[in-house]
Amino acid sequence: MSSSKSLSSADARWRQLASRYPVALIALAQLFGTSLWFTPNAVLTPMLASWNFAGESAGALGQLTSSVQGGFIVGTLTLGLAGLADRFAARHLFMASCLLGALTNLALILAPGLLSASALRVLTGLALAGIYPIGLKLMVQTAPDRAGAALAWLVGMLVLGTSLPHGLAALQLSGSFSLPWGAAIGMASLLAVAGAGLVALLPAVAPPAPAPASTQTSLLARATRGLAAWRHPGFVRGALGYFGHMWELYTLWALVPLLLTTMARLNGLSLSATQLALHSFMVIAVGGPGCVVGGWLSRTRGSLWVARLGLAGSVILTLLFVGAMQLEAGYGLLLGLLALWSLMAVIDSPQFSALAAGGTPVELQASALALMNAIGFSLSLVSIALLTPLIAAQGSLLLLSILPGPLLGLLALTRRVPPGQ
């Protein structure tokens, strides 16, 4: 009897804490849930060794990464087009996705080879489609009056999760940290389960009422419900700015190790594997606090101002970095410019979601954000596939091919949107 009372008391305390700090709780749950995204990247070498895989590790990394990204895109398209993200309570969808992702990620330990592991990564990507965009919806629901600042914490956590494999690799290579690859996979799955548990503490919010039956008389209408967001100019402006941003961001992050190696070679230096991993971690991770700073600025300047700042800063830093590379500037200066470019490339990311959500009716927000994510991540895959081989082969001057993204994003943000649209 006493034990049940103590459990009830502990649950009440946790729920009270969740009601006082919901933004922090959702951000932490998002970090835990999205830890599934790149965890295998950090343990790739021992994982491949356990399969006796004789191929190139770079090819295996590309296959596993493409698989999870492909699953994410298919999942977000499904949630967004069919409007499923708005037909279920956001917290329930987030929790179910965390649990599904934890299971598919944990199953990697039993995978006999790269092909089955890739199939599991597709399923994990589908689960992540119910974590990342639905996390955005949860944050907008929780703090509608300060969505830009709240979303900044959430995207900042995603940035830290993206940089985490590089940080773990640096620790392992330096001998400071060593963990069997199966244990690392298991820890990521446990974190995802913990993310589901944290969101379970949030107070229940009923999903919006479904649209009247007369507007959903056909299968096609039901399957494309999320497209209704494109009728709203506020959503269109935020989404188009986001698409330009996504053309740049993940391509830049994918190029970071290559750029660091090139920078070192220009200066007659040779980076150790530990140094390369550590510097890669630093360059990407700086975007985490950068997002928080952008969120703080959005509370006084507005999300539109921060979004324009990020895109304009990306254009300027691209030009400065390319110019410094052509002049063969010192490694320290180039590293600082690259880190600043990485920061400016992501500081605006949560603000596009805030702009798009603010310009979308509440009953369409989750579907609209999921669809926006699907298109944005599809563009990032195209950008990575087209530009990274080109830049690797032709040199840093071809980094200018990234510029159309932020430039077109800036152009989209000049659109005037009537109040309330």
At residue 245, the pLDDT reads 96
Q: Is the pLDDT of residue 319 over 70?
A: yes
At residue 160, the pLDDT reads 80
Average pLDDT of the chain, as a whole number: 84
At residue 64, the pLDDT reads 86
Give mean pLDDT, residues 114-127. 94
Which tens digits make up the pLDDT trace of 342-386? Answer: 999 999 999 999 999 888 888 888 888 888 999 999 999 899 888
User: Greater confidence, 119 or 31?
Assistant: 119
Confidence band of 143 (pLDDT split at 50, 70, 90): confident
For 43-51, the CB contacts below 8 A with 24+ separation are 43/168, 43/181, 43/184, 43/185, 46/180, 46/181, 47/108, 47/117, 47/181, 48/114, 50/181, 51/111, 51/112, 51/113, 51/114, 51/117
Which tens digits make up the pLDDT trace of 191-233? Answer: 999 999 999 988 766 555 555 544 444 545 544 666 888 888 8
Percentage of the chain beyond pLDDT 70 is 86
At residue 215, the pLDDT reads 47
At residue 302, the pLDDT reads 92
Length of the chain equals: 421
Q: Rounded distance, CA 306 to CA 148, Å?
A: 9
Q: Is the pLDDT of residue 7 over 70?
A: no
At residue 216, the pLDDT reads 47
At residue 90, the pLDDT reads 85
Q: Which amino acid is at 186?
A: G
At residue 181, the pLDDT reads 81
At residue 167, the pLDDT reads 78
At residue 268, the pLDDT reads 93
At residue 210, the pLDDT reads 53
Q: Are 151 and 139 in contact (CB under 8 A)?
A: yes
Residue holding tokens 């009440």?
A: 12
Which among 184-188, 205-209, 266-270 has the top mean pLDDT?
Answer: 266-270
At residue 362, the pLDDT reads 83
- 15-202+226-412: CATH architecture: Up-down Bundle (1.20)
What are the structure tokens assigned to 406, written together? 């932020």
Domain ranges in the chain?
A: 15-202+226-412
